[in-house]
Each structure stands twice: as C-alpha cells, then as structure tokens.
C-alpha cells in the first residue's frame, strides 16, 4: 500500500472530504459526483502540509546528497497534491461554476506560494546543486540526466540563486501572475457567454445551411426563446461568418467576437494584459535576462528570440506571395459577386468559402453529412488501432465530471490496459471555448509498475438537433485529429518520471504529435475507410475527395500569414525591455503589420482575448505552432514514402516520439525517427508556397 493510500485512509476514517478519502473507483479516478467546490481548499491545504513534510525529510537527511535521495525524492514529493490539483484546474476549464471560479482564485496563491517555497529554499537548492555538480561521476542514464538537468534549472529559473530580498520580490510577482491569468480566462469566458444574436425572420437566415438554422432554432428553444439563436461559441460563430448573406449581421457577430474583454466593463482585460506583460518583464530582469522571451526560450528548441524572429521572417517571406495571391483572388471574386469597397474582416470567411465552393465544388458544410460525430470518433480511434495496435473500450462505470463525457479503457494487446481516455465534445456555459487535451493523471513508473495516465479531450463541436445527429465540418474533424494526437502523446507515454512523461516536453515540440495527425484528414486512403453519408451510407464521392486534397493549399498563404501575425504579436509583447506605457491597440497593430493583409477593424483588439498568451502558457511560444509544422510536415513525408498506414513507420514514431515524452532532447528524438535534422522543404511544398504565382 502506498504512502498516499495510508494518508487518505486515515483521513477518511474521520469523515473528511472525498478529495482526501481513498478513491474506491475504477482505476482510482476522482469521484466527481461527490466533489463540491468547498472541498478543494481544505484538501489542498492538507496536501500542501503533507508535501512540506516530504520536503523537510529530504532536507533533514544526513546522507550525502545523491540522485535517489534528492532528485528522485523531489520528483515524488507532493504526490497527494498532484492527485488533487488536476481535478480543480480541469473542472475550472471544462465544467466551471461561479463557486468554483471563486475557489480557484482563492487557492491559486496558496499553490504558487508553495511552489516558490520549494524553489526559493536555499538549503534544498544546495542539495540539488551538489548532485548537479557531480553528475559526471554518478553513472546516470539519459532519462536521469534529463531529470537532473530539469530540476536544477527549475530551481535557477525559480529564483533559487537570488538574494533574500529579491526572493520576496520574485514571490510577489509569481503569485500575482497566477491570479491575473485566471482572471483573464474568466473574463474571456464571461464575454463569450454574454453575447447572443437572436433572429426572428426567415429573411435574416439567408445563406445559412439547413443544419446551421436547425442548430440555432434548437438553441433558442433550449433558452425559451422564439426564433434562431447564434452565439460566439465556435459551432455557432464560424458557420455564421462563412455563410450568412447579411453583411451587417456578419459585422455585428465579428465585432462582438473581436471586442470580447475590450468593452470598458468590469470584464475588460486591457489592464490585465499590461500588468501581466510588465510582471513577466520584471521576473525576467530579476533573474538576469534581458526580456521575458529570452527567459522563456532558454528551455525551448528555438532557444533565443533572435532564432524565433529569423524563423518567422523566413516563413513570412516564403508565404507572402501566396498570401497576396489569396487576397487578390478573394477581392476579385467578391467584386465579381457584387461587393463594392474594401474587403473587411467580416467578409473574408464568407467570400473565401464561396470561392472555395466555385473552385473545388466543395465547402465545409457540404461534408458534414459524411462526418457524423459518432463515425468520426470511431474512425479516429480506429486510426490509432491501425497505426499503433491500441483499442478503445467504453466503460460507463468510470466516473466522469459531466454526463456528456464518455470514458474509455485503452488496451494494448498483451500489455492490457495502458490508459484511460475521456471525451467531452460539446459546448456548455461552464466550458471554455476552443479545444484542448489535458490530463487528470500523468503516466509514470512506480516500483517497476507503469501508472496509467488519465487523458481528457475537451472540444466544442456542433451539437445534434431533434432531426440530425451531430455532424462535423471537415475543420472540426481536423480539430479532433489534432487533439487526439496530443492524447496519444499522453496515453502511449512510457517514461519513468512523471515530470518528463507525455506532453511534458519543450513547448515548441509538443505540437508535433498533434499536428502530424491532421495530415490524415486529407488522405483519401483513410477517409475512404469510414466517411459515409449518415442517411444513405454513400461514401464521399471520388471527385469530392480529389477536390478536397487539391484544396489543401487553398488560402494557405493567408492562413500562414495570419498565424505568423499572432506569433509576432506574442514576441513583441515579450521582447519589451521597458514597462509598457502605450496604447495596446497601437502596439498590437504595429507588431502584426508586416503579416496583415486586411484593414484593421476599429474598436477591436486581439490581445485582450488571446488566451494562449495570457491564460494558456504559450507566452513567447506561439511561434511553436509553425515551428512544429516544419517538424510534422517533414515527419509525415516519411509516412508518404512508406505508406500513410504503414505499421513499421508508426511503430518508429511511437517508439521514438510518443513513448519518450521529455526523457530525451527533442532534436535527438526527431533525428531518431527521421534519420536526419528537420527540413523546412516539406512544409513549403505542402503549403504550396513554391508555386505561389500559380493557381
């Protein structure tokens, strides 16, 4: 019986809360139905107390510091705390309530202070440093060396080498940063939920496909309203912008979306952006770095702001001709179809989709009938079976945090169950927008036994209606594949140490397993095996599949430039050398100007709702999406050479990438799979940039 179980059982006997009682549930998963917001603070306070005792035991040891009694002991300290906190943070993102939001604001400083107490502890750091300095004589294996390096650098980057007065400043900065990031996310969620567009006339629905209309009518009915209700959640917002013939309504929707947290109300994020940027700069300067990007990139593949800037510049040069061609094409098409004046941001998706339909006789909406969610889910899981030999078995006995969540056991032949997968597909009031993979438990090895990871995929897909099942667009199916790639990274992980397992890799490497999965979304060989009309059973016609593949490079120049603009904005905020004192919108437009091809929309702002930067951990890391595209395009080119369903190639990807987590350096892992350094050529070719002067 583990020490964690001993602690829980003794507490449970006194009638304490379910977070501290032994979880007598399948696979020791949190008993969500018993957990209430008020349970978290006492549970976390107790878990911190236990963790402090574990840290004190490390410090009190009279033995010479070594890898086992210091580095591994640190890795294992806080097991109870690490069991509880994922429940809190994941619920706050996927199924939150005002009570839970209040709790997390209350608890966040406790957790940040505890983390600081560890990294700012001079005596503890001394022991870690002793082990680090004698590493060459310890005969450590590669994973142990990585762990030692991460722990040591974690202390340095966590303020261990600061003077005592500086440590107090560091502590104050990090506590405030953690609190403000949570507030930023809450504000964006509130603003997203706060807007509704209720239409009452059939005329106002012009251009909208039947499925979109039906979903809007169903949403209105759910809220006790007459008509058709549209919101800023992706399944409602995106098709509205693509298909609504009413330019004034598209503008209204666009401005509502682009003005979230920029309306001068209590949920306005402008002050939070400025404060977070300034705090990050203070943190970097305190630790001896010239700016926050230099601090953050030290632990990334890109390594320096200069390397990132050069990468973004080179990709911008490569994509600009294609982007300008895309703009010219859309402008000409819009003019031919009666549009006068400038092409505005609320026009792009509309005319782009119509031109795509004309050019390829295919649009996102036309593919929905062939992609019912149930079949997509079966196909995506089946792809993992084909490539990696794993199978998925639904288990209704596994606790879930919401009735809409489905739980699966993940089996791997003779190895048995290797992971638990939770799937959460549809938008709710308490769920943040977008899509993400997360974990309720990370994989690790304990006393020779592999601890099962518990992985969760959270998405916001189109709901079913009274007459139609949930039908995904091609882009939604693509999102599923992307997030499922992250899930594979977590589920197939086979590392010794939790902090190196699964997606615990350098930020600009983490998107490789997710983005490589998107490649299958365009492959006839895979689509042919499952995609069929939900009513007739007819497969996607051959011509449509061919056109779909041809459309892979459609508007890729514009899309690439748009992503580069976001990355440039990120780098601009985090390469500041002085506290910010200007106007956010002026700064933002200047930062993104070289990648922008559409006129700005007055009264809107990107930064204040840019959750990746200010609530999602991608500060100085947004370039990583394009960086990983280089890796994924090059990696997938090997599948193209050998067959996109080739088990041997997949086995190599699993062995060298998915199972390794962060137990090796990313460049070493990539070379082990690809046999060489990554090349940008595959991305340039896939994106169509080599032929940007041609249709």
Average pLDDT over residues 388-407: 98
Q: Residue 54 sits in a domain of what CATH number?
A: 1.10.1370.40
Last residue within a domain, chosen from 240, 258, 276: 258
Residue 629 lies in a domain: no
pLDDT at 5 over 50: no
Ranking 223-232, 344-353, 365-374 by mean pLDDT, the lowest is 365-374
Residue 339 lies in a domain: no
Residues 199 and 105 both lie in one domain? no
pLDDT tens for 34-76 read 999 999 999 999 999 999 999 999 999 999 999 999 999 999 9
Residues 126 and 204 both lie in one domain? no
Residues 213 and 145 both lie in one domain? no
Residue 86 lies in a domain: yes
Residue 97 lies in a domain: yes
pLDDT at 490 over 60: yes
Residues 209 and 76 both lie in one domain? no
pLDDT band, very low/low/confident/very high, at 363 (cuts 50, 70, 90): confident
Residues 97 and 240 both lie in one domain? no
Q: Distance between CA atoms of 220 and 471, rounded to whole angstroms? A: 19
pLDDT band, very low/low/confident/very high, at 12 (cuts 50, 70, 90): very low
Residues 144 and 74 both lie in one domain? yes
CA-CA-CA-CA dihedral for 492, 495, 498, 502, to nearest 10: -30
Residues 103 and 157 both lie in one domain? yes
Nearest to 615 by CA among 484, 432, 401, 455: 432
CB 515 within 8 A of CB 486: no
Average pLDDT over residues 107-117: 96
Q: Which residues are marked as active site? A: 483
Residues 213 and 135 both lie in one domain? no
Give me the number of domains the chain comprises.
Answer: 2
pLDDT at 326 over 70: yes
- pLDDT at position 691 is 59
Q: Output the average pLDDT for the chain.
A: 95
CA-CA-CA-CA dihedral for 200, 258, 232, 337, to nearest 10: 60
Residues 236 and 121 both lie in one domain? no
DSSP bridge partners of 410: 392, 419
Nearest to 427 by CA among 184, 219, 198, 210: 219
Domain of residue 222 covers 195-258
Residue 613 lies in a domain: no
Residues 201 and 157 both lie in one domain? no
Average pLDDT over residues 425-433: 94
Tell if the pTM clears 0.75, that is, is over it. yes
CA-CA-CA-CA dihedral for 26, 28, 32, 37, to nearest 10: 170
Last residue within a domain, chosen from 220, 238, 258: 258
Please state, for a pLDDT cut of 90, what percent of the chain lies above it. 92
Residues 26 and 157 both lie in one domain? yes
Residue 106 lies in a domain: yes
Residues 65 and 125 both lie in one domain? yes
pLDDT tens for 571-598 read 999 999 999 999 999 999 999 999 999 9
- The torsion angles phi and psi of 376, rounded to 5 degrees, stand at -60, -45
Residue 13 lies in a domain: yes
Q: Which residues, 6 or more positions from 433, have their beta carbon under 8 angstroms from its beta carbon?
A: 188, 189, 192, 232, 233, 234, 427, 460
Last residue within a domain, chosen from 136, 161, 186: 161
Average pLDDT over residues 129-140: 96
Residue 396 lies in a domain: no
């Amino acid at each position: 019986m583990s020490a964690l179980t001993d602690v829980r059982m003794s507490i449970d006997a006194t009638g304490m809360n379910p977070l501290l009682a032994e979880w007598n549930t399948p696979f020791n998963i949190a008993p969500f139905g018993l957990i209430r917001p008020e349970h978290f603070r006492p549970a976390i306070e107790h878990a911190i107390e236990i963790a402090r005792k574990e840290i004190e035991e490390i410090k009190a040891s009279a033995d010479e510091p070594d890898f086992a009694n210091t580095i591994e002991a640190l890795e294992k300290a806080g097991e109870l705390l690490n069991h509880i906190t994922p429940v809190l943070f994941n619920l706050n993102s996927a199924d939150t309530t005002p009570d839970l939001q209040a709790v997390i604001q209350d608890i966040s400083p406790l957790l940040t202070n505890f983390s600081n107490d560890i990294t700012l502890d001079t005596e503890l750091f001394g022991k870690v440093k002793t082990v680090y300095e004698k590493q060459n004589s310890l005969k450590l294996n590669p994973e142990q060396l990585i762990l030692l390096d991460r722990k040591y650098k974690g202390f340095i980057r966590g303020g261990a080498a600061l003077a005592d007065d500086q440590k107090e400043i560091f502590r104050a900065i990090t506590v405030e940063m953690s609190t403000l990031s949570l507030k930023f996310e809450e504000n964006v969620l509130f603003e997203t939920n706060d807007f509704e567009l209720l239409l009452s006339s059939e005329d106002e629905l012009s251009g909208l496909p039947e499925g979109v209309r039906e979903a809007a009518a169903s949403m209105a009915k759910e809220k006790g309203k007459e008509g058709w209700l549209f919101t800023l959640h992706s399944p409602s917002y995106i098709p509205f912008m693509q298909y609504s013939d009413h330019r004034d309504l598209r503008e209204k929707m666009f401005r509502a979306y682009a003005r979230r947290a920029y309306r001068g109300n209590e949920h306005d994020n402008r002050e939070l952006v400025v404060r977070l940027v300034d705090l990050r700069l203070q943190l970097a300067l305190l630790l001896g770095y010239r700016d926050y990007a230099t601090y953050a990139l030290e632990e990334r593949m890109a390594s320096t702001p200069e390397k990132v800037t050069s990468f973004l510049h080179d990709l911008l040069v490569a994509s600009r001709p294609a982007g300008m061609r895309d703009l010219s094409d859309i402008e000409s098409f819009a003019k031919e179809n009666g549009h006068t004046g400038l092409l505005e941001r609320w026009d792009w998706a509309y005319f782009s989709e119509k031109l795509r339909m004309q050019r390829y006789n295919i649009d996102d909406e036309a593919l929905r009938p062939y992609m019912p969610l149930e079949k997509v889910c079966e196909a995506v899981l089946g792809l993992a079976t084909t490539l990696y030999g794993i199978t998925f078995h639904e288990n209704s006995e596994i606790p879930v945090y919401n009735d809409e969540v489905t739980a699966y056991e993940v089996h791997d032949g003779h190895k048995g169950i290797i992971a638990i997968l939770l799937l959460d597909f549809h938008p709710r009031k308490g769920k943040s927008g977008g899509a993400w993979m997360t974990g309720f438990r990370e994989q690790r090895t304990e006393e020779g036994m592999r601890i099962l990871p518990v992985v969760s995929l959270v998405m916001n897909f189109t709901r079913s209606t009274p007459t139609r099942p949930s039908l995904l667009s091609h882009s939604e199916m693509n999102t599923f594949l992307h997030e499922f790639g992250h899930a594979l990274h977590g589920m197939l992980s086979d590392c010794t140490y939790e902090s190196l397992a699964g997606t615990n890799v350098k930020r600009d490497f983490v998107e490789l397993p997710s983005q490589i999965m998107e490649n299958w979304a365009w492959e006839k060989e895979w689509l042919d095996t499952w995609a069929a009309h939900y009513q007739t059973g007819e497969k996607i016609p051959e011509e449509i599949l061919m056109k779909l593949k041809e459309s892979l490079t459609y508007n890729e120049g514009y899309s690439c430039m748009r992503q580069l603009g976001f990355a440039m904005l990120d780098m601009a905020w985090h390469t500041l050398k002085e506290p910010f004192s200007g106007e956010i919108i002026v700064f933002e437009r200047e930062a993104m100007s070289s990648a922008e091809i559409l006129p700005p929309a007055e009264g809107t702002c990107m930064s204040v709702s840019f959750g990746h930067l200010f609530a999602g951990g991608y500060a100085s890391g947004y370039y990583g999406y394009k960086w990983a595209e280089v890796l994924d395009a090059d990696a997938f080119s090997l599948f193209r050479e050998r067959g996109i369903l080739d088990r041997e190639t997949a086995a190599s990807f699993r062995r060298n990438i998915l199972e390794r987590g962060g137990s090796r350096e990313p460049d070493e892992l990539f070379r082990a799979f690809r046999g060489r350094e990554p090349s940008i050529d595959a991305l340039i070719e896939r994106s169509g940039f080599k032929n940007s002067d041609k249709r």
